[in-house]
Structure 1
Amino acid sequence: MNVSAMVKLTISMAIFGSIGFFTINTGIPAVELVFVRCICATLFLSAMWYLTGGHKTEIWNKREVLQTLLCGVFLVLNWVFLFKAFEEMSISIAISIYNLAPIFVLILGTLFLREKMTVSGVLATVICFVGSIFIVGIESFQSIDLFLNSGFVWALLSAICYALTMFTSKTIRNLSPYATTFLQTIVGIVMLLPLCNFEVFVGLSTSNWLYILGTGIIHTGFVYYLFFDSIRNLSTIIVSVLVFVDPVVAILLDTIILDFRPTLLQTFGIVLIFAGIIFTVFKPNENPTNNVVNEENVS
C-alpha cells in the first residue's frame, strides 16, 4: 500500500470537495468561471508536463488526439453545467446528482458497447432515480416551470457530460494524463472564448479574484496534478473509496458553513443515491465499466 499516494489522492479529493463553496463566492457566471479555469489548468499542467520531462517522451496518436478533443468538449460542458447547478440549488443536492455519473456510464456501456445490464445494475439505476426525485423535492416535478428552475436539469446534464467524459476516454492509452488534460483545457478555451462576457470581471473585489484564481489554480491545476500523480500507484478499490471524500467534504461544507439543512426526504434521497453508486462501483464482476468509473472520477 502506497501511503504517500493515498495521502495525495485524499488531499486532492478533499480540495475538490470545496469547489462548490469557492464557485458561489467568485461573483461570476459559470461560463466565465470555466473559461478562467481552463486557462489556469492549461498553464499549470503544461508547466508540470514540461518540468517532469513528460513532453519529451509523449506518444502522439491521431485517433487518440481526436478522441481526447471530443472528450474535452464533454469535460468543459460538464464543468459549465455543474457550476450553473450551483447557481440554482444547494451544493449538497447538486453534488449528489452530479455523482450519478457512474450510473450513466453503466447505461452507456449497455447501449453502445453491448455490455449486459445486470439485475444489480437495473436496481442501482432505479434506486438512484428515486433518490434524485426525493433530493430535489417531489414538488419540483409538479410543473414544468418549477422543474426547470430547480437546477435539477443543470445538475443532471453535468452528470451525463461527466459520464460521457469517462466513457469517451475509456480507450485512451498512449497519451499521458498531462497531454490529455492540456488538449481538453485548450478545447475549453476555444469553446468558451466567443461566449464570454468580459464585463463580468469589472468591479470584482479582491475576495472574488482570490476565489476565482483558487478555483482555477488550486481546484484544477493542483488537484489534477495530485490526482494523476497518485492513481497510478493505487489499486482500483482504494481509488474507489477515496473519491468519495469529494462529495462528503462538499456536503459537510454546505451544511456547516452555508447552513444547508436537508429535509428528511432530501436526506433519504442523498442516502439512496450514494447507496446506488456504491453498489454499482463495488460490483466488479458484474460491472464491466468499473475501471472507467474509478480511474477517471475526478473533475
Structure 2
Amino acid sequence: MRNETRGTVELTLAMVLSGTLGIFVVESGASPFDVVFFRCLFGAVALGAYSLARGFFTGHGFTPRKLGLAVLGGVFIVFNWALLFEAYEATSISFATVVYHTQPFFLVLLGAVVLRERISAAKLGWLGVAFAGLVLVSGVRPGDTASLQGLGLALGAAVLYALSTIVTKRISGVRPHLVALVQVTVGIPLLLPFADFGAAGRLGAGWGWLAGLGIIHTGVMYVLMYAAYAKLPTARIAVLAFTYPAVAMLADWAVYGHHIGLVQALGVPLIVLASLRVTLAGAPRGRVVASAPRTGAHAPEAASPAATRSA
C-alpha cells in the first residue's frame, strides 16, 4: 500500500507538471517550432544525463528494428507537439487541451485501420459519446476561423500522438527512458531547418521557460511518470491522468483569464467519461510494467494506455 501511495503522489505530480506545460510554452515567447526544438534539445540533455547516471545505457536492449521504430515514433511525437503548441496560439490552452484528449479514440480507430483490430459495439458507443462531447466543446460558429484552426490543429496533434502510440507499442525490452531519449533526440535534426535562432536570441527571460520545458516537463516529468507506472494498477493511472487537463484548464483561467463557455463545459465530462471507459476497456489488469514501453509523448506513454493524456 505504501508503494501505491508513493506512486499516486509521483503520478499526480507528473500530471500537475503536464498541466502547466501550456503556460511555459506561451510565456517563452518563442514560435511553436522553436519551442519544440529547444524542448527536444534541453529534454535530451536531461534524459541523457539521468539515463547515464542510472546506468541505463548498459544492456539497453535496442536492435536496429527497435531503434527504427523509436525514431519513427519520435517523428510523430515532435510534430504532435508542434501542432498542439500552434493550437495554444490559435485558441487557448483550455480548448486545445480538451480537444487533444480525443487521443484514445483515434488510437482505437487507427488500430482498426492499421492493425485490423476489432472495435466492439461498446467502444463504438463511447466514440459516439466522445464525438457529441467534442461538438459541444468546439462551440465553433460559422466564420469563427480561429476556433476552427485551433480545433483542426489539436485534432491533428491527437492523431499524430495516436500514430506514435501504435508505432512505439511494438517496442519491448527497452527502458521507456531510453525510448523517450531517442524520440526527443530525433527532434533536434528534424526541426533544425525550422528553428529561428535570430528570434530565439532575442527571447531574454524566455530562455528560462524553454529550459523548464526540457528539464522539468520532459526530464523530471517523465522520470516521475515511469516511476509511478511500476507501482500503480492501470485503473488508478487512468483516473489520475485526468489531473492533467484539469490543471491545464485551471492554469489557463488563473493566468490568462481564459475559460470555456457553459455549453462547451457540458462536453468536457462526455469526453472525459468516454475516454476513461475506452481506456479501461482495453487495459490489462494489475500493475504496469515500466520496462515495457508502449509510446512516447509530450509524454511518451510508458506502458499504459491511460498515459496517452499527457503532453
Same fold at TM > 0.5: yes
**Residue matched to 1:70:** 72
Q: CA deviation at 1:43?
A: 0.6
**Residue matched to 1:182:** 181
For 1:102 and 1:88, locate their aligned partners in 2 and report how far apart those are by CA, in whole Å: 23
The 3-state SS of whatever aligns with 2:256 is coil
Kept in 2, the 8 Å contact 1:61–1:174? The answer is no
**Residue matched to 1:239:** 237
**Residue matched to 1:81:** 83
Q: Which residue identity lines up with residue 265 of structure 1 in the other structure?
A: V
1:204 counterpart = 2:203: yes
Q: Which residue identity lines up with residue 36 of structure 1 in the other structure?
A: F
**Residue matched to 2:160:** 161
For 2:148 and 2:129, locate their aligned partners in 1 and report how far apart those are by CA, in whole Å: 24
CA distance 1:170–1:89, change in 2 (3 Å)? same
1:186-213 deviation line (CA, Å, top 9, x unaligned): 110011001111121132232x222221
For 1:219 and 1:239, locate their aligned partners in 2 and report how far apart those are by CA, in whole Å: 18
1:269 corresponds to which of 267, 282, 297: 267
Q: Which residue identity lines up with residue 255 of structure 1 in the other structure?
A: W
Count of residues paired in the alignment: 292
The 3-state SS of whatever aligns with 1:239 is helix
Kept in 2, the 8 Å contact 1:231–1:295? The answer is no
Q: Which residue identity lines up with residue 132 of structure 1 in the other structure?
A: L
Q: CA deviation at 1:150?
A: 3.5
Structure 2 residues without counterparts, runs of 5 or longer: 285-293, 295-302
Kept in 2, the 8 Å contact 1:166–1:292? The answer is no
Calculate the TM-score normalised by the size of structure 1.
Answer: 0.91
**Residue matched to 1:171:** 170
For 1:260 and 1:281, locate their aligned partners in 2 and report how far apart those are by CA, in whole Å: 29
**Residue matched to 2:118:** 116
**Matches for 1:252-267 after TM superposition, within 5 Å:** 252-267=250-265
1:114-135 deviation line (CA, Å, top 9, x unaligned): 2221122112222222222222
2:21 corresponds to which of 10, 19, 22: 19
Q: Which residue identity lines up with residue 94 of structure 2 in the other structure?
A: S
For 1:297 and 1:278, locate their aligned partners in 2 and report how far apart those are by CA, in whole Å: 10
Coordinate RMSD, CA, aligned: 2.0
Higher RCO, 1 vs 2 (CA within 8 Å, ≥6 residues apart): 1
The 3-state SS of whatever aligns with 1:68 is helix
**Residue matched to 2:37:** 35
Structure 1 residues without counterparts, runs of 5 or longer: none
Calculate the TM-score normalised by the size of structure 2.
Answer: 0.88
Kept in 1, the 8 Å contact 2:10–2:225? The answer is yes
Percent identity (aligned): 30
**The 10-residue stretch of structure 1 (185-194 or 115-124) with the greater mean CA deviation from structure 2:** 115-124
